[in-house]
Structure 1
Amino acid sequence: MSRRPATINALRQGGKPALARALSAIETERGSMMLAGFLDAAARAARATVLGLTGPPGVGKSTLTNALIQACRARGERVGVIAVDPSSQITGGALLGDRTRLATDPEDDGVFVRSMAARDRLGGLSDDAIAAVVLMRAVMDRVIVESVGIGQSEADVAQVADTLALCIQPGSGDSLQFMKAGVMELPDIVAVTKADMGALATRARADVAGALTLTRPVGASDLPEVVLVSAASGEGIAEFVDHCDRLGAETVRCGARDRRRAEQQRHWVRDAITRRFGSVGLSLCAVDEMMAECPGPFSAIGALDQKMRERLGLVAPID
């Protein structure tokens, strides 16, 4: 059986095969403290920026992802993609069909695409998907996470993204409809897809801009940019990438990215414990203290899980 790389340097030097083995280990070594330590090391060694794409089904997220891959590869960037597909509430299976819209060259070592199931997470990011983002972030130059985008639960991707892009298509509704969707407070940038539809796309941009002014503090000067993009014609793709890069550079300069990532890691720990033991279980866990003691969030999850299982009598205490 192929083993995952032992170190982050080995992961980086091993190319796509090494990354594939590391991603497989997320499932085959689930619950292992050795895997947790490896993921913590990857979290500390992050070098890629993470772009999250969210929005309702059919808006064109996969098609936009394909265009972004091509644009970033043209700049010489190595790109990783996590495409999350919804899981059936009946069978538990997932089609994992997003990759069929991604016209990537399997021989291109600069692109790695992994489709993952949402499992029981309506918002789209399972624990496995979070771990996959962390691994890709340590290897690639840019990571794109495409969320499920089901109903009004589209916010999970914000817990891994450095920049969150909301995708809207022409004819989606007026400003009130966008506000009702409950996601206008989240994005750092908004992409109106299918810009080649002309006047409809221009109207959608105006409606989104109006909704943003109503959901942000009065007088806010940092309203997200609303960009018209068309994967079919290429319109706006380069501008979209440039704007994401400017946003990223500014968050690094002012320290906002480090603060955001630290809060994301805290969320991962709290969310993992809550889903395993409920809100009462979370209240019994000293999350911040454990995170201060552990080398990273994944080790903290493992340690808190062990303590709770000991407390519940599910496992024998570790001496």
Structure 2
Amino acid sequence: MTLESVRSGGKAALARALARIEKAPDDTDVVDLLSEAYRSPVAHVAGMTGPPGVGKSTLMNGLIHGWRSRGLTVACIAVDPSSRRSKGALLGDRTRLATDPEDQGVFVRSMAARDRLGGLAGLTVQAMVVMRALFDIVLVETVGVGQSETDVADVADTVVLCVQPGSGDSLQFMKAGIAEIPHIIAVTKADMGAVADRARADVVGALSLSDAHDGWDVPVLLLSAEKRHGLDDLIDAVDRHRGFLAEDGRLARARHAQASDWLIDAVRERFGRDGVRRAGYLGLDGEDTPFRRLSEVTRYLSPA
């Protein structure tokens, strides 16, 4: 199983590869695939977060069509709530996406959040890395957002926070420490008129108290996905942020930090805090990849 075989095999091959990663993440062929994909990034990764009911799935649908109309291929990871019985994804988001199953330029994968906080699933990073090597855009939608559900910043290059007018989100989520996370804020359901304008003004005011993005001015956009108002503005804003990250090595530094943090979290999840201590140095040097390093650390820490 190589990156080229997955690429040439289309969506069916990608689905099989993701299933293989989930079933046997430590097998040599899986680690090799993940490492090859990690070293071969193509896509820009956009993460979308916000409270349930804000319209993320509708917006996701509009963005897919918008990017496809510009000739870009798009892969989506929709992190869904979990079934209490099976622990699998409830697939609520994927059923709302109006995509052509025959379009090889769009791939959608639902994942179950299960018991994880942070808004992501356990294999989101691995799936993102493979998709990032195969598509032009990767879009990650979280299951929801709260004060602890901010892991989307650890997987995305550009984070879009969706805010719903008239719900209190515009101030509550700024207070929750999430003001430091988004690179773009989308006030959804702009057709609500004055209520949406007021929500945007509240967000702009809250952002004026934060300076967390190294010179990037966070745009606050009004949009209505159902009426397709503002979608092009959002796509353009993502593209501008991509250009901003390309300057002065910002993107490479951010991705290296994400990979390093993921490695430490993965070791902690498998072996606890004591495992992190016993593992010693967990940095990434030279041609290291987080997946190969995790495999090495796992062999070192596992009982003989």
TM-score (norm 2): 0.94
Structure 1 equivalent of residue 274 of structure 2: 280
SS of equivalent to 1:70: helix
Structure 2 equivalent of residue 200 of structure 1: 195
Matches within 5 A, 1:165-314: 165-173=160-168, 176-216=171-211, 222-288=216-282, 291-292=284-285, 295-309=288-302, 314=303
> Offset at 1:293?
7.4
Q: Flag structure 1 segments of 5+ consecutive residues without an equivalent.
A: 1-5
Q: Deviations over 1:12-52 (max 9, x none)?
A: 22211221111111123222132112101101111000000
Whether the 8 Å CA contact 1:178–1:208 is kept in 2: the answer is no
Pick one of 37, 53, 56 that aligns with 1:58. 53
Pick one of 26, 38, 43 that aligns with 1:31. 26
2: CA distance between counterparts of 1:292 and 1:178?
Answer: 37
SS of equivalent to 2:114: coil
Structure 1 stretch 276-285 or stretch 248-257: which is displaced more?
276-285
Whether the 8 Å CA contact 2:116–2:122 is kept in 1: the answer is no
> Offset at 1:79?
0.4
SS of equivalent to 1:244: helix
2: CA distance between counterparts of 1:283 and 1:194?
Answer: 48
2: CA distance between counterparts of 1:233 and 1:143?
Answer: 24
Structure 1 equivalent of residue 144 of structure 2: 149
Structure 1 equivalent of residue 135 of structure 2: 140
1: CA distance between counterparts of 2:66 and 2:297?
Answer: 42
Q: Do structure 1's residue 87 and structure 2's residue 82 form an aligned pair?
A: yes
Q: Flag structure 2 segments of 5+ consecutive residues without an equivalent.
A: none
Aligned AA (1:238): D
2: CA distance between counterparts of 1:303 and 1:87?
Answer: 31
1: CA distance between counterparts of 2:225 and 2:73?
Answer: 20
2: CA distance between counterparts of 1:128 and 1:231?
Answer: 29
Pick one of 44, 62, 66 that aligns with 1:67. 62
Whether the 8 Å CA contact 2:164–2:170 is kept in 1: the answer is no
SS of equivalent to 1:14: helix
Aligned AA (1:222): W
Q: Cα–Cα, structure 1 residues 174 and 66, in superposed 2: closer, same or farther, change >3 Å?
A: closer
2: CA distance between counterparts of 1:299 and 1:276?
Answer: 15
Aligned AA (1:303): E
2: CA distance between counterparts of 1:179 and 1:250?
Answer: 24
1: CA distance between counterparts of 2:145 and 2:215?
Answer: 30
Whether the 8 Å CA contact 1:212–1:223 is kept in 2: the answer is no
Aligned AA (2:150): A
Structure 2 equivalent of residue 118 of structure 1: 113
Whether the 8 Å CA contact 2:113–2:122 is kept in 1: the answer is no
SS of equivalent to 1:80: strand
1: CA distance between counterparts of 2:44 and 2:223?
Answer: 21
The count of corresponding residues between Structure 1 and Structure 2 is 304
Aligned AA (1:253): E
Q: Deviations over 1:278-299 (max 9, x none)?
A: 222212223435x337731111
Aligned AA (2:278): L
Aligned AA (2:25): R
Q: Do structure 1's residue 10 and structure 2's residue 5 form an aligned pair?
A: yes
Whether the 8 Å CA contact 2:165–2:189 is kept in 1: the answer is yes
2: CA distance between counterparts of 1:255 and 1:221?
Answer: 14
Aligned AA (2:261): H
2: CA distance between counterparts of 1:67 and 1:197?
Answer: 19
Structure 1 stretch 161-170 or stretch 13-22: which is displaced more?
13-22
Whether the 8 Å CA contact 2:173–2:179 is kept in 1: the answer is yes
Aligned AA (1:26): I
Whether the 8 Å CA contact 1:154–1:183 is kept in 2: the answer is no
Aligned AA (1:299): R
Where has structure 1 moved over 4 Å in runs of 4 or more? 88-91
CA RMSD after TM alignment? 2.0
TM-score (norm 1): 0.90
Aligned AA (2:294): I
Whether the 8 Å CA contact 1:50–1:143 is kept in 2: the answer is yes
2: CA distance between counterparts of 1:266 and 1:244?
Answer: 24
Aligned AA (1:279): R
2: CA distance between counterparts of 1:185 and 1:293?
Answer: 30
